[in-house]
Each structure stands twice: as C-alpha cells, then as structure tokens.
Structure 1
Amino acid sequence: MKFILKYPLAIFLIITFIFFGILQCQTDQKPIVNDLTAVKKEIFKNNLEFLRQTNELMDLVSKDAESKILQEKFQQLRKTYKKMEWAVEYFLPNTARFMNGPALPEIEMEEHTEIEPEGLQVIEEMIYPYEKQNREELIRILKKLTNKSNTIKANFLVITISKDQVFDALRQQVFRISSLGIAGFDTPISGTFLEEMPFALEGVRWTLEQISTEKSQQKSLKQIVSEIVTASGILKKNPDKNTFDYINFIPNHLNKISSLLLQFKKEENIPDVEVTSALHKNASTFFSKDAFNPNAFVPGKEYEMSPEKVSLGKQLFSDKILSNSNSRSCGTCHIAEKAFTDGLEKSMSLENVALQRNTPSLNYSAFQHGQFWDMRKDDLEGQSSDVITNKKEMHGDMNAIIAKINLDKKYQKDFEKIYKTKKTEVWQLQNVLASYIRSLAAFSSDFDEYMRGNKSAMTEKQKKGFNLFVGKAQCAICHFVPLFNGTVPPNFNKTEQEVLGVAENASNRKTDQDLGRGKFHETVAFLQNSFKTPTLRNISKTAPYMHNGGYKTLKEVVNFYNKGGGNGLGLKVDNQTLSDAKLNLSEKEIDEIIDFMTALNDQ
C-alpha cells in the first residue's frame, strides 16, 4: 500500500503497459476485420442492376425485338452477373445453381424426379436464335430469374459475411475462372465467355481492395491488381474462343493471380475457413503437386488415408485371397501399366465370358462422386465390395474373406496396427483397398509440369492440341481442367454424367442399348443411357474406349464427337446432353488434340 501511494505514476505506467501489451497480443492473434459494409453494398448494387436489366430484357421480348438486340442485352446481363458471381456462388450456391447452372434438369435422386432447369443458360438457348413462338416461355423463365434476384437481396440483408469467408469466396472464384470460365462452361451456345471473364476478374479485384489493409496494399494486392489488368487486356484484345492462347494464358496469368492470393492471405493474416475441401487451403494453383485432398471424398473421418493403409491396400489389391476361388485379384483386371485397365473391349467374367462393359481406369477415381460407369456406388469403399462380391467378377464373400484375413498373422498384425482392433472388420478391408486406389493420382504428367512453369515440358503440337481441346472442340466443358473428368470445379462436390448417344461400335450404325445410370432411375428420362464422365488423364493407355469398349482408338472417339455424337451421326437420341452440332475439326486438328492427350500421361 505504501509503495502504491508513494509511486502512483510508476504504477499507472506499469498498468498501462500491461493493458496495451495484452491488447497487442489479442490483436496479433486475430486478423484485422475490415468494415465489410462496402462489399455488401456492391453486391446490392450489382444485383439491382441485374434486376433492372432482366426486366428490360423481358420488356424487349414482349415487344418481339430482334434476336441481335436481345442477344446484346443478354450479354450485358451476364456480365453484370459475373461481377457478383463470386458472392452468389459462395454464399447462396442453390440460388446460383438456378441462376447460371446447366440447361439440364436437376435430379432429386432419392425421389427419382427431375427439377426443371432455369436461369441464364436456359435463356441463352432460347435467344440464340430467338423464335417468337417461344415468347411466353422465355418471359416465364425471365420472371423466375427476377425471383432469384430478389432472393439474393433478401438473403444478403440478413446474412453476416466475414473477411475470411470473403477471401475464401474470391479464391474459389479465381479457380472457377481458371476452369469453368476459361472453358465456356456456362456459355456453350454463344461462346462469349472470354468477353465475360474481365468482369469476373473485376469483381475479384474490387472486393480484394475493400478487404485489404496497408499490409498488402503495397505488396501482393498491388501485384494482383497489375496481373488482373494485364489479363483483362489480353482477353479484350482477343475474345475469339477458337484462336485464344489458353495454354499460356492459364500459367502466365491465372496461376499467378491464384498464387498471389496466398501471399495476400498471409500478409492480411486471414485464417482458413474450417471446412474440408477438395483443394488444400495452401494450394497456390490447381496444378500444385499436392493441390488436391483425397480425404475430401471419403465417407467419414475414420476412412481418411494414411501411408500404412495405402501400403496394406496395395498388398491386398494383388492378393487372390479376395476371390472365392483364390484365382483372381483386383490387379487381374486393373493392370498398372495400362493405367489400371485391362486392355480388353469388355471385362471378362470368372468363366472367361465377356461382361457388359469396358473396365474403367482406377487412376484418379478418388476424385469422383459416383463409381463405375453407372455411378451406382457413392465411394471407393462401396466400389471395392461391389466388385468382390459380384458373382461374375470375383464371387467373394466379405465375411469369409475377413475370416481368412483374421487367420493370417501378418495381415492381422497390419490391420491391428492401423485400426487398433483385435479383429479385422469388413469396413476396414474396404477402406485399405480404397486408400490404395486413392493413391493412384500422381499429377506428374508433362501437362502438369508445363502448368508449373516448365515451358519445355510440352511440344508445340501438344500446346496447339490443348488450345483446341479448350476452345474449338469444347472438350473442357465436360472434362474439366485440371482433373479432366466430370467432377465440377471449384467445389468438386458433384460429378456429372452425360448422354452421348454412343453407338455399339465405331461404325456408328446402331445406338448402344445399355441404360447406364438410367437402370437405377427408371422414371427419370434424363438419366436413361447416361454414363459418368471419366478422366482423360492417362487416356492413351486405356484403349479401347467408351463404356462399351466399342471404339478402339482415340481417333475414333474424337471423330464421334466431331460429328456431334449420336444425334449428329443420325442416330435417334432424344435426351442427348452432348451438343449435336458438328465441331468441324480438320484431320490435322484431331491429331493435335490426340497428341495433347498423350501429355496427360503420368510419368
């Protein structure tokens, strides 16, 4: 007490020092959160303009304006949407799906029903070109679009957005631009995607500026703005999808922007949004060596990969103990040198009789929601047991196999070490096999190397082939970069199926009658004869092709697409999802595309 009375100033200074020291520690622990009011206001502003333009387009339709005028107004509307796309897609994904999703029915699998498509892509189909007899239907779709605009306003009035969420949304948008945007996924008819991309990039730039502080403004933000300005200039200079230089634009500009975003995040001390995602939070680009997280595709936390699981799964993959007769292993039909296919037209039964379908590659199957050509199993755990217990394939009994494993001292010791249980269980066997299959994604192709900065990794012919693959041939609309399968970026939470009108063989005279996914959804017309979109990675090793193995070479496959699939070849395919428009690829261009696909082989 005497000390306090005698030295009041000293005590005051000590307490003040401690107080500000504690405050500083708290400040260091928590990121600076800016006032995000401006960000919300911009969303409202863009949405209001979107609503105005929608109503204007509706008025023009009611007056039977010419196609050209409607198309110009529609393009303005799409560009306005692109400015706020980053926010709508992230915070209101269901609304985004019905504003700018594919012009295909949405499927409610449990109810086996279709939900009518709507939104910008449906409108695009109706005004390229516009036919007056569709006036009332087009107005109806436009009215539904105004309802979605009102939904955006209502939701953003009540939801709270944080700096970490906004950053995460912007990062996803850059990845969206680098995959769906650069391929023209949402403008399949008009092909105006290169004109729209500067508006999507502008939305990223403006928002980053609002959430930035002095920490980044003279460092990463300055570089990001410079890259976006440069990229937008290139896009505006050549918006022709058939001649654009995709192979250099992605690594030279889009990859740089996504890499700089990680610097921005570090400088601004922005924490990760704690949600498991297919892309690791520290992945600087789509093409970073360990960008993808296979654990985002597992059924639950206990199923996550480990080196021990992969090693044990590899042993069991090649062990004939999994078949009833001890005569066949998983490796019998999935040969490593053939990218885990068997090289046959169709899989062979235990009695050496051809089965219904071609053996699919296991490479990169970890990054799919739906296994087998017909997607009948959700994950690789279900896939493994389905094959093992199939009477025609391995005719195994899971419980009998587990009994044999529990009698094998080495296997039992390995399982016990991993799962900490005395007896091996069925799910554990499924999990180690699935873990091994999840490891079969090397991302070590020449294409990957090129995207990582090695400019000598691809030949000039392969570069031309990639530009055709993304541009004129429109392959990347279904085989999404960088996985080159049907799992939709940037969230990778859905894998698409397509109806191509595949024929029995490359003579293309008779449609293949396999119902595919439709077998399990008989009342859903949209799914009849539909099949999963597989990866094209290592594709040159997996001949023959298609679900029925009817196409012996990649040239036969590309020719099929070049002519517009089944419908383009004159086969009747009422629900074909592939465009039946001819691609008009020359023989030289076809060869270049095929040569590019060899650059997708892992080394």
Structure 2
Amino acid sequence: MKSWRVKYIPVILVSVLFILSISSVKDRADVIEMNSAEKIGILYADNLNHFLRKIEALDSMVRQGVREPELIPAFLEMREVFKTCEFLLCYIESDEVRRINGANLITNAYHHKTPMEEKHPHGLQVIEDLLFNPEEGTYEELKKEIVLLREIIATSVQRRESDSIVRAKEYNIVVWDAFRLELFRIETLGITGFDVPESLNSLPETMAAMNSLEEVVQVYEPVFKYKKAKKQFKEGVALFRKSRELLQQAVDFDSFDRLEFITEVLHPLEKWTKQVIDDFAYTYPVNFRPIDNRATFLYDTTFLNTDFFAPGIKPESVRLGKKLFNDPLFSADGSRSCASCHISEKGMADGMVRNTALDGSGLLKRNTPTLLNAGFQTRFFYDSRAKRLEIQVVDVIHNPLEMGGNVTEITARLQQDSSYAQLFKEAYNGIITKTTISNALADYVRSLVSFNSRFDKYVRGDKSALNESEKNGFNIFSGKAKCATCHFAPLFNGLLPPHYKDNESEILGVPVAADQPDVLDDDLGKFDNTKLELHKYAFKTTTIRNVGITAPYMHNGIYSTLEEVVDFYDKGGGLGQGIDLPSQTLPDAQLQLTETEKKDLVNFMKTLTDNPQE
C-alpha cells in the first residue's frame, strides 16, 4: 500500500497551485487598481496645481491694481479650473470646504445656549461678490480674500505631495465615493447656481466638473477590462458623452433644461456609480452618515439614512406614538392633542394662519408647520432651538399656550392607564417615563415619510406624471427663480447637500401682513433663542414638499396662496418691497418672472404633494 503522503501529494500540489493562482490573480488586480489610483493622484495633483496657478495669476493682477471688471474673466476661468479638482479637494479637505467655496454668509454654530465663535465667510463666493458688487466691499478686502485662498490651496498642494491618494486607506473607495458625492453636488448645488449667485456661470463649471469625472472613468478602464465589465465602462462613457451634448446645446443659465439633464444624465450616472462600487466590492469608508450607502440616486426612497437621523426606530414605538399623538391627555384641559394641530388631510399642518392659544387669549406666535419628513432634520422649530425631536415634543407639551401639560403628571396617569400597558410593554418593556413617552411620539413623527409625489414618480421613470407646465416649473425653480439654492433636493428644505448635516436658516424680510408689504414682522426668529445680532429675523428654511395642501405660508402665515409667495420672492423679499433690513440673506434683486413662469412654478410645487396619511 502506498503511503498516504504519496497518495495525497498530487492533491496537495493542485491545492497549493490553486491558492497561489488565486493569490496571483488578487495581486494582479491590486496592481491594476493601484496603477489607476496612482494616475488619479497625478491628475488630481495637476489640476490642483493648475488651480493654484490661476489663483496666483489673479493675485498678481490685483497687486498690479487691475480693477474689478477686468478681473472677472480671470476669476471665472479660475473657478472652472477649481471644478476640475473639486470632487477630491472637497472630499479630502472637508474641513476647509467652507473657506474654499462656502456660502457668503456669516455663521455662528450656537450650541446648547452657548454662542460659538462667529465665522466670517471666505473663498470663491466672497471673491465673486466683491468682484461683481465692488461697492459692497473694498479692494483691500478683495486682496486679502485672494491671498487667503492662495494660502489654503498651497497648503493643500503640499499636503497632497506628502499624503498620496494611493497610500490612503481603501484608496479606490476614496476616489469613487468622492465621485458619487460630486454627482449629488452637481445636481443640487452646481446646475442651480448655488455657488455662483452673481456670475451664474454654472453651466461651464458643470462641464468642467463632468469632464473631470469622465477622466476618472477613463483612467479606470483597465480595471473595468480586468473585471470583465467592458459593457459597464461603455455605458458610463456614453452617459458622459450625453452630458457634453446637453451642456453644449444649452443657450444660457435660465433656459437650460435641468430636468432633462437630471433624468437623462445625472440619475443614470448616480445609479451607474453605485453599481460600479458594488460590483467592484469597494467598501464605503463610513456607514453612519445622512446619505444611505444603499441608495442608487438622489430621489431613491432610501436616499437618506434613517438610522443616522433616528437610530433604533421600532414599529412598536411608532404604534404607541401614534396613539399618544391622538390622545388629548397631554393638554392641561384635555381639549387638545398633537393631532388637533397636525391634521392628516392638511398635510400634517392645520390650515390656519396661526392656531389659537390653549387658554383662548389669542393666537400662537407662529404658523403650524407640516410634520411630514420632519424626522430628516438636524434642527427643529422655526428658530432651530431644538436639536432632537424628543426635545421638541417635550417643549410643545410644556408650552402653556400650546398644550400646557406636565410630562411628570402625564407619566403618572399613563402608568395607571390599562389601555397603554401592552403598548408600552411591546415598545419599552413596560417602562413608562418622560424618555419613553417623548421617544414614542418622536418615532411616530419620524414615520411620517413623504417621498412618492407625482414629481418623484416622474424622476423615477414615469414620464406621464408631469405635464409641460409642471416640467417647466421645475426648471424655473432650479434656475431663474433660484428657489433650489435654498430649498435643496430631495427634501426641498434647508438641509444642505451633499452631506445633509446642517439645516440652513434665511432672513427673508417677511412683512407683518400681506397688505403691509413694507412693514417688517416683529418676530425676531432665532435671535429670541441665541441673542446674536446675525440671527435677527432668521428662520429655518422649511420644506416645500406637500406645500400644495399646507397653506397658509411663511412663519406668520400671512400668505394664503402660493401665488402670493411667488410674488414676494419675485419682488426681492422684504428689501425689494421697501423694508429696511440690511441683513436680509435673500437677494433683493427682482427675479423678473413672467406671469406664465409664475404659473408654471406654482404648478410644479403642487406636484410635490404626497400625503401618506390619507
């Protein structure tokens, strides 16, 4: 009998060779991907250095005393070069994004009743404003802003030289995750003119950004070939070719067909990118963030990560919360429940200018907002004073003019109420406290999700869902009317893309009454909470989803129709109507919308109606 060694040597040899071949295949794949990453790193370095040289050239012109009008062409060229490296620059230098291309607004991250350091804006948008509106600043300020930008990018160049993308952990996902976020950035901030409010140079910049992303695809062609994904590669290239065609056909900012560009280019590319990441088995660097890594495109029903905004939401707590929401036991006199002011058929608002105070002494201070999609926010109330829904819930219950309740007393009553015993047992093991009560109510509000309007159906492929007026209305909303620069997709509120962590507020100059357009409403907004001057008359940018059924409008409910709201914005807000409010963040220039454009704009906003509670 042969020894077992002789008998099994062939099997062992085959196994070893198989393992070595697998290892060899893996090594070869790693080399191919490493080579692609190295080339991306070189491209990024070239583009970043090109951007720095353009800044230095503009700096040189300013040092020579060249005045603002003559500087504008060089500035616009510099911005287009910025767009070639934006996707990786903003990803890698995330802490510096606000000083590179942030909104031209002073901010203060007021936190737990403690004012933080006031942050003044810097970067490209500030420079643009100083160039296009030189009367609003000084030439010295322009010099300083350009020098600061030059220093920031010079530092980025130095850091890039010492910290290669290739040496970064999971370098492939660094490239492709940044790629994916740039597509979202282009859709929500790029083609809307958000970061070029004065020049409206967004179409050439979009072309530059898209060309830069196409370079990534071309550099990764060997990887596609090796992974037997040639068809997938060709599909991506074809979409970028379509992008160039549509952008080259565009006549100007106002007439650009954004809806076609989004549905024919950006959404297919977003889906394609997600598929590439999945097929190539690239692992996202982080799962706990507002954008759900499983989402395929911007209007995917799962685009926002529920676990980020509401970790641990359970159907049991939602059931309990719904019962509590409809129970008047929270009000001091047992006459009012949460559902009294958040009515299903009115889009979870109440249809009133302002609701009545519990004691009948008058009206509440502010209009009742919708609760639909309220769970996808990081700030609550018009003045953003609460950071969690649970805090908002307790605040409303304790407010003597709204509910006048006492959670401690309510807890004691619920502990004696047999109709709630089983629900609390299922949701919280029978624990009835202020914490479980507020969490159950908050979870119910978080369950009020509304992402299935006619507009959503259209961008998901149902081309019969919108008519021509409504489609044109979207293009006006995202272009000429500049609505999308404050009401960001997909929530159409102030949750700022592409990271969706910050709820923005605006100062609009809202009048005290519709028939008194030149008299400012005396509600100080965020200032009442923060006592900071820059927050006077500032209010959180609310959603316009379901706006067709949540009239009246504005924080004080002064406008009963969407037509009135559009007229307010068309005239330049409060400043445009004679209100003295230098801090207004809404531009005071008239939009000059035609009557047809106004009608189309209103028609589009009504397509965002989707009341899941009906």
TM range, smaller chain: over 0.9
- The equivalent residue for 2:369 is 360
| Mapped contact 1:31–1:270 kept (Cα < 8 A) | no
| Mapped contact 1:32–1:268 kept (Cα < 8 A) | no
Q: Which amino acid is 2:260 matched to?
A: N
Q: 1:139 to 1:595 in 2, by over 3 A?
A: same
- The equivalent residue for 1:98 is 99
Unaligned runs of 5+ in 1: none
- The equivalent residue for 1:72 is 73
> Per-residue deviation at 1:11?
6.5
Give the RMSD, CA atoms, in angstroms. Answer: 2.5
> Per-residue deviation at 1:23?
4.1
Distance 2:371 2:415 in 1: 27
> Per-residue deviation at 1:454?
0.7
Residue of 576, 597, 607 corresponding to 1:568: 576
Distance 1:29 1:48 in 2: 30
> Per-residue deviation at 1:25?
11
Distance 1:491 1:132 in 2: 31
Distance 2:159 2:395 in 1: 43
Q: 1:203 to 1:419 in 2, by over 3 A?
A: farther
Distance 1:21 1:40 in 2: 30
Q: Please tell me whether residue 262 in structure 1 is matched to residue 274 in structure 2.
A: yes
| Mapped contact 1:220–1:261 kept (Cα < 8 A) | no
- The equivalent residue for 1:501 is 509
Runs of 4+ in 1 over 6 A off after TM superposition: 24-32
Distance 2:336 2:386 in 1: 22
Per-residue CA distance 1:525-548 (angstroms, 9 max, x = gap)? 221110000000111211111111
- The equivalent residue for 2:551 is 543
Q: Which amino acid is 2:579 matched to?
A: L
- The equivalent residue for 1:122 is 126
> Secondary structure of 1:115's match?
coil
> Secondary structure of 1:65's match?
coil
> Secondary structure of 1:287's match?
coil
Distance 1:27 1:93 in 2: 32
- The equivalent residue for 2:404 is 395
Per-residue CA distance 1:241-277 (angstroms, 9 max, x = gap)? 1111112221111111101112212321222333222
Per-residue CA distance 1:570-594 (angstroms, 9 max, x = gap)? 1100110000110011222111111
Q: Which amino acid is 2:155 matched to?
A: T
- The equivalent residue for 1:326 is 334
Q: 1:58 to 1:554 in 2, by over 3 A?
A: same
Distance 1:278 1:558 in 2: 31
Q: 1:9 to 1:358 in 2, by over 3 A?
A: closer
- The equivalent residue for 2:209 is 200
| Mapped contact 2:384–2:526 kept (Cα < 8 A) | yes
Mapping 1:458-473, distance limit 5 Å: 458-473=466-481
Q: Please tell me whether residue 143 in structure 1 is matched to residue 143 in structure 2.
A: no
Q: Which amino acid is 2:281 matched to?
A: N
- The equivalent residue for 2:523 is 514
- The equivalent residue for 1:43 is 44
> Per-residue deviation at 1:12?
5.8
- The equivalent residue for 1:53 is 54
Q: 1:269 to 1:346 in 2, by over 3 A?
A: same
> Secondary structure of 1:183's match?
coil
> Secondary structure of 1:240's match?
coil
- The equivalent residue for 2:315 is 307
Mapping 1:273-352, distance limit 5 Å: 273-298=285-310, 301=311, 304-352=312-360
> Secondary structure of 1:34's match?
helix
| Mapped contact 2:494–2:542 kept (Cα < 8 A) | yes
Distance 2:353 2:92 in 1: 46
- The equivalent residue for 1:242 is 254
| Mapped contact 1:216–1:264 kept (Cα < 8 A) | no
- The equivalent residue for 1:412 is 421
Per-residue CA distance 1:200-221 (angstroms, 9 max, x = gap)? 1122222234345122651222
> Secondary structure of 2:118's match?
strand
Distance 1:5 1:485 in 2: 72
Per-residue CA distance 1:175-207 (angstroms, 9 max, x = gap)? 111111121110111101111101111222222
Q: 1:459 to 1:11 in 2, by over 3 A?
A: closer
> Per-residue deviation at 1:596?
0.9
| Mapped contact 1:246–1:470 kept (Cα < 8 A) | yes
> Per-residue deviation at 1:374?
0.5
> Secondary structure of 1:107's match?
coil
Q: Which amino acid is 1:150 matched to?
A: A
Deviates more, 1:570-579 or 1:236-245: 236-245
% of aligned pairs identical? 35
Q: 1:116 to 1:410 in 2, by over 3 A?
A: same
Residue of 159, 163, 169 corresponding to 1:158: 163
Distance 1:144 1:206 in 2: 29
| Mapped contact 1:88–1:95 kept (Cα < 8 A) | no
- The equivalent residue for 1:457 is 465
Q: Which amino acid is 1:10 matched to?
A: P
> Secondary structure of 1:498's match?
strand
Q: Please tell me whether residue 487 in structure 1 is matched to residue 495 in structure 2.
A: yes
Q: Which amino acid is 2:216 matched to?
A: T
| Mapped contact 1:216–1:268 kept (Cα < 8 A) | no
> Per-residue deviation at 1:471?
1.1
Q: 1:587 to 1:48 in 2, by over 3 A?
A: same
Distance 1:469 1:330 in 2: 33
| Mapped contact 1:220–1:263 kept (Cα < 8 A) | no
Distance 2:601 2:94 in 1: 34
Deviates more, 1:411-420 or 1:88-97: 411-420
> Per-residue deviation at 1:68?
4.5
> Per-residue deviation at 1:114?
1.7
> Secondary structure of 1:71's match?
helix
Distance 1:209 1:270 in 2: 18
> Per-residue deviation at 1:15?
5.1
- The equivalent residue for 1:111 is 115
| Mapped contact 1:112–1:521 kept (Cα < 8 A) | no
| Mapped contact 2:130–2:137 kept (Cα < 8 A) | no
Q: Which amino acid is 1:193 matched to?
A: S
TM-score by length of 1: 0.94
Q: Which amino acid is 1:19 matched to?
A: I
> Per-residue deviation at 1:291?
2.5
Distance 2:152 2:251 in 1: 29
> Per-residue deviation at 1:318?
0.5
Q: 1:254 to 1:14 in 2, by over 3 A?
A: closer
> Secondary structure of 1:365's match?
coil
Q: Which amino acid is 1:114 matched to?
A: E
| Mapped contact 1:479–1:486 kept (Cα < 8 A) | yes
Q: Which amino acid is 1:142 matched to?
A: I
Q: Which amino acid is 2:257 matched to?
A: D
Residue of 359, 375, 400 corresponding to 2:384: 375
- The equivalent residue for 2:82 is 81
- The equivalent residue for 2:284 is 272
| Mapped contact 2:130–2:136 kept (Cα < 8 A) | no
Distance 2:247 2:198 in 1: 19
> Secondary structure of 1:249's match?
helix
Unaligned runs of 5+ in 2: none
